[in-house]
Amino acid sequence: MINLQPDLIDDIRGRFAHVDACPFQGERVFFENAGGALTLKSVVETSAKFAAIPDNPGRDNPAGQAAVKIIARAKNDMAVFFNAPNGQFIAGESGTELLFRLIGAACLGTPEGGRVLSSSLEHPATRSAADRYAPISGKAHVLVAHDNGTGSIDAAAYKAEITPDTRVATILHTSPVTGMAVDVAAIAATIRETAPDCYIIVDGIQHAAHGRLDLAALNIDGYVISPYKVFSRHGYGIAWLSDRLAALPHDGLMGAPGAPWELGTRDAGAYAAFSDVVDYFDWLGGRVSDHDDRRSRIVAAGEAIHAQEKTLTEALLHGAGNLPGLASYEGVTIIGGIDNPRREGLVSFAYEGLEATEIVAALNEAGIRTHVRKADHYSGNILSPLGMESCVRVSLCHYNTEAEVIRFLAAMRDIMRA
């Protein structure tokens, strides 16, 4: 879809800052999108504009009132982007901070006893929050084991551990280590069959850049993202809360009208920058479809993003430009398997006889930015059961090209020969 339109990929790349060069390194290929996607140029401009405005939202002056309208517009944009007709959106310090707040409120706001259910696939943001608040609220924290072979988890794995007194459950939408997506709707439905009142909170941080978000179809209570991983900037997180989760006791200022979840003065520029992200999805959807409503264009953009990333990861694994793919090399282990339909724009691998740190350093010398994942507090839950100390993570996005994949494969050929 995208790769079949040369003018479109050029237009897409033209909308992002530093798409092919680093201000510190110079020319490079960016395959570190899971660590933080490229930033839209419009986000850079919006952030600079609002950083210079001294007025606070809500003040009785034109700037303060304009900020209120900008925040309201952004929340409406979020509702369309996430397909969330109910509930509320809030901004916080980061995705991790918001996960702690939502999970903490769910644990403390439900009856003592029972279970908090997580999975071993999850990022430490959710696992750590559940591990902290479950014992404080008198609950057992239970970890459901993920499938090492697929690098994911399914509803059947959760089902074995769901009890009627499961009060809180967390789900990871996409793994930042394996790159594999999870069927959140199926898991949520399975949880509600046995524990209909369970508060279900989803870590969508790794998934959001790939599009295809539909909260109305998930039947959950909380969804959190980090905008810097979906073409915005660092310094804030976004969370959606169902009405019943939002009604639970939570941190806030005494006597504040409406019992708001946001603490302190919000950055109107952060909200405006997320409107830029939604505008981008709307624009892309208009280029790949002829839909006349915004939500349908955003959905079409997500489908195009998924198709482009699938094309690129297939080339990475199976070869392109007369160069062999990673899967063809003896001694290479692909985490989650080679042909895994759950994959979202990411391939993590290890090569027998070469440390992942050496491969990442050699790729960086060749002008290709990747990342090493180690069996530490971030990734040990994935790597240690596989008997791996580290792996190379190659994460792509829809603005990457087959030519960049070919450059990566050529560099890997030379590294392996050496």
- What is the per-residue pLDDT across 262-272, written as a single tens digit (0 to 9) for each? 998 889 999 99
Contact 319, 7 (CB under 8 A): no
pLDDT in tens, 181-227: 999 999 999 999 999 999 999 999 999 999 999 999 999 999 999 99
Q: What confidence score (pLDDT) does residue 228 get? A: 98
- The arithmetic mean of pLDDT across residues 359-388, rounded, is 95
The predicted pLDDT at position 214 comes to 97
Is the pLDDT confidence value at 251 over 80? yes
d(CA 275, CA 77): 6
φ, ψ of residue 105 in degrees (nearest 5): -65, -40
Residue 264 confidence (pLDDT): 87
Report pLDDT for 159.
96
Predicted confidence (pLDDT) per residue in 72-129, tens digit: 999 999 999 999 999 999 999 999 999 999 999 999 999 999 999 999 999 999 999 9
Secondary structure, 3-state, 266-319? CCHHHHHHHHHHHHHHHHHHHHHCCCCCHHHHHHHHHHHHHHHHHHHHHHHHHC
Question: Which residues touch 200 (CB under 8 Å, ≥6 apart)?
Answer: 168, 169, 170, 171, 188, 191, 192, 219, 220, 221, 222
In the numeric block, the tokens 């084991």 are attached to 145
DSSP summary character for residue 323: B
User: Angle at the Cα of 182 (from 180 to 183), degrees rounded to 5?
Assistant: 145
Q: What is the pLDDT of residue 4?
A: 76
CA distance 400 to 416: 24
pLDDT at 297: 98
pLDDT, position 44: 98
Distance CA 69, CA 123 (A): 35
Q: Which residue has the tokens 């944009």?
A: 77
* Closest CA relative to residue 366, chosen from 412, 309, 304: 412
Q: Give 372's DSSP letter.
A: E
Q: What is the average pLDDT across 354-374?
A: 96
Q: For the chain, what is the mean pLDDT?
A: 96
Burial of residue 10 (CB within 10 Å: 0-12, 13-18, 19+) is exposed
pLDDT digits over 21-66, tens only? 999 999 999 999 999 999 999 999 999 999 999 988 989 999 899 9
